[in-house]
Amino acid sequence: MNKTSQIMYKGHQDSQSREVHQSTIAQEMNTVFERFEAQQPQCGTCKKGLSCQLCSDGPCRISKKAPMGVCGASGDLIVARNLLQLAIIGAAANTYQCKNLANTLKSIGAGKSSVKLKDEFKLRMMCSGLGVDNTKSANELAVIFADFILNEIGKTGAEPLRLMDMFAVEQRKEVWKKTDLYAGGASSEILTALTKCMTNLSNDPIDLIKTALRLGLANEYVALWGITVIQDIILGTASLTTGNTNIGCLDPNTVNIISNGHQPVFASIIMEKAGSEKFQSAAKKAGAMGIKLYGSLCEGQQLMNVSSREEYKEIFGGQLGNWIQEELFIATGVVDLFMMDLNCSVPTLKTFADKYGTRLISTDTAVRFPGVDSVNFDAEKADSQAEEILEIAIECFKSRKADRHRTINMPSKQARTECIAGYTTETVLKMFGNDINTYIAEMKNGSIKGAVAVAGCTNVRHDQGGKSIQKLTLELIKRDIMVIGAGCCSSTHQNLGMSTKEMIKMAGPKLRAVCEKHDVPPIVSYGSCTDVGKILDTVAALAWTIGCDTSQLPVAASVPEYMEQKAIADIFTALAFGLLTHVSPPPMISGSPLVTNYLTRDMTDLTGGRMLLEDDPIKAAEELEAHIIAKRKEIAFD
């Protein structure tokens, strides 16, 4: 093995992934880490955000020799426009998922689907908040609420979002109205933002950044909000549960299905079907000990949050991990069927599936691979589609067992990593006696110095791959700052054994005492990246109760291993809420001092929020703590 390979397989933070990664290298496969190395050195101009490919007169690269593009666009304009395009893609993907869920809920309510609602109470509560008679039947309310969400998505930019009117803190609403950030329908905001990105149209870099902030609010008060609420209604609201994580969860003796992506409804239906006598008998007849469905990425977070439900608990096999591991899941050689419904499904999955004998199936029209079959989820065909998936998986298991030459790369120490999952605003409050004032009292007396949401992606840049997430989180809890995880950051926490009460001993003395008193760990996982919406609900609840603006709270956000576009949309959501938002690696903005200074300094005059760009997790923790201490003084906690 060459030196580069020896370095790269150590890129994963957990030992199970490193071992499987080493095996794939020996078998002449390349993963995200090797491909990252092959791309070095990467284009310095592009990394600064100073390249544009929008028109046929390009591509243009800004430099001292050529300080403007052919059209006359400055580096500032190009950097801002490139960043806005990333935010648009992210907000569009979240809105797409929200629209899918609303249409599924409507089909259920209209009686066109056999799927049953798991949390009618939440549906009735939400409809009551909208002024709807909640004594109507659950099906009637499902149609009403679905239509409401679809209408919010489709509103014009001039029509304020009702969810923002209802749930945003009053002080924050005044800020957004004063600064023209009060968003309209997500589709309209996306359309306007995209139009502004056209060549020779919007030529004000700061206006483009403000457009991204406005888009961030549509992202929260339509897309993220709709996703989290509708998923709770259909799947059931999360409850605290102990779960298993990482590659060691995979059982070679069962029919193994992985559901990868962000849309868990279809997977939940498959789990219910898999528990039936029909499919359990079929699996055993094929020589398997049963059927297991495993979660991958944010989908697994959502499934694990409800995995204690009777209909899921015998079938859900565990949450395997984050996107930089997904090639390794297939490389184990024990995965029979791998379903993909949204990001992140890397293009090389087909190469790995062909090598290690896994069947790939896309389950959403947005996900397409050459040579890969599709079963596009349709709530009205849910039963037959779930049965089709299970039948295919059982046949794939038979093929696996008959293949004497199958390459198997399971970790030698096949231990499952345990974690606690299922935290939400509701379950966190339960830990504090169902009284938010108890939590606030612990903040006021300094036992909980503050809180930081550590959320978003993982990436493969040097000294990341989960390392920055781990270091930052440990440093924060050591400083008596509670950490709320979400997305691939939660998977990193879980795979490293950090989502347990054992971590209490790693917390600072004051936070440790609070955790012991209330039986809560210092690191709690809210679930998927879309559960950033739930985290912001918690932030708003704190501000409402204290009587302050969200920007005044001793809280912050961190995206310590930013990778893709949804993260950028969510970052602008946090900035619009007035939060200090740590981002690493920096977005591609360093080529524009104007944009960089606005995001990291001057934006505080607009929303109260700003970006903190710091790659060193220890230094980032220091700055986050300093910010929290300053905010404690601002609202007279200290």
> What average pLDDT does this structure show over 261-284?
98
Contact yes or no for 209/84 (Cβ under 8 A) = yes
CA distance to 98, 215, 613, 622, per residue, from 586 (Å): 28, 20, 6, 18
Q: Give CA–CA dist 439/435, Å, rounded.
A: 7
DSSP string of 300-351? HHHHHHTTTSTTTTTTEEEE---GGGHHHHHHTS---EEEE-SS---TTHHH
Looking at residue 101, what is its pLDDT? Answer: 98
Looking at residue 414, what is its pLDDT? Answer: 66
What angle do helix axes 277-285 and 382-402 make, rounded to 10 degrees? 20
> If pLDDT is split at 50, 70 and 90, which confidence band does 7 have?
very low
Pairing state between β 51-52 and 60-61? antiparallel
Looking at residue 462, what is its pLDDT? Answer: 75
Which one, of 112, 373, 383, lies nearest residue 270 by Cα? Answer: 383
Token duo for residue 428:
């966190």
Complete domains list, the chain, with CATH: 3-61 (no CATH), 75-235 (1.20.1270.30), 241-402 (3.40.50.2030), 422-634 (3.40.50.2030)
Token duo for residue 535:
């985290």
Q: Give CA–CA dist 57/194, Å, rounded.
A: 20
Secondary structure (3-state) at 585:
coil
According to DSSP, the residues that pair with 360 across neighbouring strands are: 338
pLDDT higher than 70, residue 531: yes
Residues recorded for the chain: 638
> What average pLDDT does this structure show over 228-234?
97
Q: Give CA–CA dist 330/336, Å, rounded.
A: 9
How do residues 330-367 score in pLDDT, each as one tens digit? 999 999 999 999 999 999 999 999 999 999 999 999 99
Residue with structure tokens 């909000």?
225
> If pLDDT is split at 50, 70 and 90, which confidence band does 5 have?
very low
Token duo for residue 382:
């849910």
pLDDT higher than 70, residue 4: no
Which one, of 459, 536, 294, 539, lies nearest residue 393 by Cα? Answer: 294
Query: Residue type at 129?
Result: G
- Would you say the pTM of this structure is higher than 0.95? yes
How do residues 561-588 score in pLDDT, each as one tens digit? 999 999 999 999 999 999 999 999 999 9
> What average pLDDT does this structure show over 70-77?
98
Contact yes or no for 363/374 (Cβ under 8 A) = yes
How do residues 273-284 score in pLDDT, each as one tens digit? 999 999 999 999
Peptide bond into 509 cis (omega under 30): no
Strand segments, DSSP code E, in 218-269 are 241-245, 255-260
> What average pLDDT does this structure show over 22-40?
95
Which one, of 114, 117, 363, lies nearest residue 257 by Cα? Answer: 363
pLDDT higher than 80, residue 10: no
How do residues 175-213 score in pLDDT, each as one tens digit? 999 999 999 999 999 999 999 999 999 999 999 999 999
Looking at residue 3, what is its pLDDT? Answer: 45
Looking at residue 429, what is its pLDDT? Answer: 87
Q: Per-residue b/e over 144-165, b at no fewer than 16 CB within 10 Å?
A: bbbebbbebbebebeebbbbbe
What's the DSSP call for residue 333? S
> What average pLDDT does this structure show over 622-626?
98
Looking at residue 1, what is its pLDDT? Answer: 41
Looking at residue 2, what is its pLDDT? Answer: 47
Contact yes or no for 589/595 (Cβ under 8 A) = yes
Contact yes or no for 537/457 (Cβ under 8 A) = no
Looking at residue 344, what is its pLDDT? Answer: 94
Higher-confidence residue of 626 and 431: namely 626
What average pLDDT does the chain have? 96
> What average pLDDT does this structure show over 66-81?
98
Q: Give CA–CA dist 135/138, Å, rounded.
A: 8
**Gyration radius of the chain over CA positions:** 24
Looking at residue 153, what is its pLDDT? Answer: 98
Secondary structure (3-state) at 75:
helix
How do residues 471-528 score in pLDDT, each as one tens digit? 999 999 999 999 999 999 999 999 999 999 999 999 999 999 999 999 999 999 999 9
Contact yes or no for 234/240 (Cβ under 8 A) = no
How do residues 405-445 score in pLDDT, each as one tens digit? 999 999 987 677 899 999 998 888 888 999 999 999 999 99
